Amino acid sequence: MLTIKKVISPNLHDSPPKAARSQAVEASPLKVLIVDGHFLVREALCDLLKELESSAIFMEAADGHQAVQLAAEQDNIGLVLLGMNVPDRDDFTVLSRIRAHLPMASVVVLLDQPDRATVVKALNLGARGVISKSEKRQILIHALQLVFAGSIYIPREILIREEPESKPANVNLTDRQLDVLVLMMQGKCNKAICRDLQLAVPTVKNHVTAILKALNVSNRTEAVIAAGVRGWLSPRSNRSQQTLASSFASISTITLQAPVPAVACRG
């Protein structure tokens, strides 16, 4: 059965400035679609999200058919939590269909036991994060906060390798290519990188190709994962990356701001 319920509870966040409050009144509440075959899992996720977005409207689907139906009917859904255990359809087919209906929504995939192949495939299909269902509550909250902020969340175990990793200096990238990689890790598409660095589109495409070759990967998602494997928050230090560094130090999971090919360009 499809379920829609509006959550009404006190705002858990600090009061914003007067201008921000005025804008917030006009803004529509966040709509969240939770997809999982288990009722108790869906309820637990609703309770968790209330801590982050107290005015959110929650919709629940118990299988892939219901999830795709809601995605088609509710085009203003902002966040989808997709448990990869839907009983009636292939999980990746459901993910693709949801992304097709909701190209601007942030989709977070929930897995029992994340593995590298599944994580990479989910990211390539447009997921903004992959979270293990066994993670501690605080890490789940932190991961969702990052997704709300426009980041991508990648489980630490996916980034771990046994062999020592090279430093940025050991990878044959120019300063400008490192600048491009920083912006790739911030979720910027080629056009946005062009604007930020004042470069032509063909020049940025050439830099991206060089980065993929230097990191020995075939696409942008793998490039971001490869940078994370090497322990790079960013190859170049700046204030925003130092802020990310402090976040990384506080938890035992690596998170990256990263581009996903299926996600529409953001600015």
Shared domain check, 119 and 195: no
Token output for 243: 């802020």
Task: Decide if 262 is inside a domain.
Answer: no
For residues 155-177, average pLDDT: 65
Shared domain check, 14 and 124: yes
At 136 the pLDDT is 87
Question: Residue 87: CA atoms inside 13 Å, Cβ hemisphere, count?
Answer: 8
Q: Among candidates 172, 235, 150, which has minimal Cα distance to 245?
A: 235
pLDDT at 177 over 60: yes
At 253 the pLDDT is 35
pLDDT at 126 over 90: no
CATH number for 212? 1.10.10.10
Shared domain check, 230 and 191: yes
Percent of the chain with pLDDT over 90: 28
Shared domain check, 109 and 223: no
Q: State the total domains in the chain.
A: 2
Shared domain check, 193 and 140: no
Pairing assessment for the beta strands 79-83 and 106-111 based on DSSP bridges = parallel
108-118 per-position pLDDT tens digit: 999 988 888 88
Pairing assessment for the beta strands 255-256 and 57-61 based on DSSP bridges = unpaired
Question: Residue 12: CA atoms inside 13 Å, Cβ hemisphere, count?
Answer: 12
The residue among 98, 127, 159 that closes a domain is 159
Across the chain, what does the average pLDDT equal? 74
Q: Domain residues for 35?
A: 3-159
At 102 the pLDDT is 93
CATH number for 133? 3.40.50.2300
Helix axis angle for 64-73 and 91-101, nearest 10°, is 10
pLDDT interval class at 229 (50, 70, 90): low
How many CB atoms within 10 Å of residue 10?
5
Shared domain check, 199 and 125: no
25-62 per-position pLDDT tens digit: 456 889 999 999 999 999 999 999 988 888 999 999 99
How many CB atoms within 10 Å of residue 146?
19
